[in-house]
Amino acid sequence: MKISTFGYSMKQGVKNIGRNKMFSIASVATMSACIFLFGLFYAIVINFNYIVEKAEEGVAITVFFEEDATDTQKTQIGEELAKADGVLDVNYVSAEEAWDNFQGNYFGESADLAEGFKNDNPLGNSDNYEVYMADVSKQADVVEFAESLNGVRKIRKSDVVAKTLTSVNRLVGYVSVAIVAILLAVSIFLISNTVTMGITVRREEIAIMKYIGAKDGFVRAPFVFEGLLIGIIGAVIPLVLLYFMYEKAIQYVMTKFSLLNNIIDFLPVASVYRTLLPVGIALGVGIGFVGSFFTIRKHLRV
């Protein structure tokens, strides 16, 4: 296609949108809603994932030893655990370290309160392994495996946290995929309608074009541009909107629920948009193209 033809087709595409404003606006609006929700879910899911990931790093199984466990036994347990499926890291905590941590957690600033216990470590027998999971869903297996090892006395684990995190994460994923899929279908349908409308309105012009010897591509191009344009506008509007809303929302959550500050950490908008921007635009372009191209193939037998 020549550049002048390309320019002409684009101009006609823009004119098409102007000619059936109501349909175009409806299409852009639905597209916007679709991509907005997509962006919203994406932001929620990716943040949730991020939070879960962070939380998972903290989720650990603590493995305590029998009183008479030997050092060799302890080393062996460590090695076995490190090899287990889903385990990220195994960390040996000596009795002294365990006590130090305990002090830090419980006495905090007023460390002198703990002075009294100084020479008589109440956790003398509490050296242990902290087992960090790479994959929380494997936690139950690892616990079972650890229990079967010689020299293991007891295991402390945060079952509920692990299970909830995994299932919520999965649920949010499914729901968002379903909603976005429905919206995609609606958007394609509406763009398809808009383009059909444009074709109907311009039947006569199309007939004349064909008499004069227009190639199929020339007849179709303005409609494809129309669809693409609706798609792109319908993507840019929600992406811009979401960009500003995202920051505001995080600020709001952080100030309203300052409690969460310590536990939860949100992704910065830039890192969300590194993926969301290209995917959102691609979605817009894709929906616009699919919605118009196949409609034209169906209604514009040239």
Partner 1 sequence: MIELKEVTKEYSKGIAALNGINLKIAQGEFVFIVGDSGSGKSTLIRLIMKELDPTSGTIVVNGQNLNRMKHRKIPMYRRGIGVVFQDFRLLKDRNIYENIAFAQRVTETSSRIIKKKVPAALSLVGLAQKYKAYPKELSGGEQQRVAIARAIVNEPAILLADEPTGNLDPTNSWEIMKLLEEANDRGTTVLVVTHNQEIVNEMKKRVVTMKKGVIVSDEKKGGYNNEN
Site for partner 1 in 77-96 (CB under 8 A): none
Query: What 8-state DSSP symbol labels residue 59?
Result: -
Smallest gap from Cβ 44 to partner 1, in A, equals: 47
8 versus 48: smaller Cβ distance to partner 1: 8
State the Cα–Cα distance between residues 131 and 151, nearest whole angstrom: 16
> Which CB atom, from 109 or from 204, has the smaller least distance to partner 1?
204
Residue linked to tokens 């709001």:
252
Task: Give the relative orientation of helices 139-148 and 159-201 as an angle to the nearest 10 degrees.
Answer: 160
Cβ nearer to partner 1, comparing 144 with 216: 216
Q: Is 21 in the site for partner 1 (CB under 8 A)?
A: no
C-beta separation of 155 from 254 below 8 A: no
Q: How far is the CB of 192 from partner 1 (least distance, A)?
A: 24
Residues 19/195, Cβ–Cβ less than 8 Å? no
- 174 forms part of the interface with partner 1 (CB under 8 A): no
Assess 200 for contact with partner 1 (CB under 8 A): no
Q: How far is the CB of 214 from partner 1 (least distance, A)?
A: 4
Select 115 or 205, whichever has its Cβ closest to partner 1: 205
Q: What is the dihedral of CA 287, 289, 290, 294, to 10 degrees?
A: 150
Residues 84 and 148: their CA atoms lie apart, in Å, by: 13
CB of 225 to partner 1, least distance (A): 15
CB of 191 to partner 1, least distance (A): 23
- Hey, how many other C-beta atoms are within 10 angstroms of the C-beta on 127? 17
| Pair of tokens at residue 127 | 């050296």
Q: Rounded to the nearest whole angstrom, what is the least distance from the CB of residue 166 to partner 1 in the complex?
A: 56
The answer to whether residue 105 forms part of the interface with partner 1 (CB under 8 A) is no
Rule CB under 8 A: say whether 298 interacts with partner 1: no
With beta carbons less than 8 A apart as the criterion, state whether 252 and 245 touch.
no
β-bridge partners, 92: 129
Task: Considering the complex, state which of residue 5 and residue 101 has its C-beta at the smaller distance from partner 1.
Answer: 5
User: How near is the Cβ of 198 to partner 1 at its closest, in Å?
Assistant: 13
Residue 7 to residue 133: CA distance in whole angstroms? 58
Residue 275 is which amino acid? T
| Rounded least distance, CB 213 to partner 1, Å | 4
**CB closer to partner 1 out of 179 and 209:** 209
> Using CB under 8 A, which of the segments 36-44, 120-128, 141-149, 203-211 binds partner 1?
203-211
Q: Does 156 bind partner 1 (CB under 8 A)?
A: no
**Coil, strand, or helix at residue 122?**
coil
Stretch that binds partner 1, among 1-9, 38-46, 250-258, 264-272 (CB under 8 A): 1-9
Contact string (CB under 8 A) for partner 1, positions 204-233, x = contact? xx-xxxxxxxxxx-x---------------
User: Smallest Cα–Cα separation from 242: which of 274, 279, 269?
Assistant: 269
Report DSSP letters for 175-219, one per residue: HHHHHHHHHHHHHHHHHHHHHHHHHHHTHHHHHHHHHHT--HHHH
Nearer to partner 1 among residue 67 and residue 204 (C-beta): 204
> Within 13 Å and on the Cβ side, how many CA atoms surround 20?
23
Note the residues at the interface with partner 1 (CB under 8 A): 1-2, 4-5, 8, 204-205, 207-216, 218
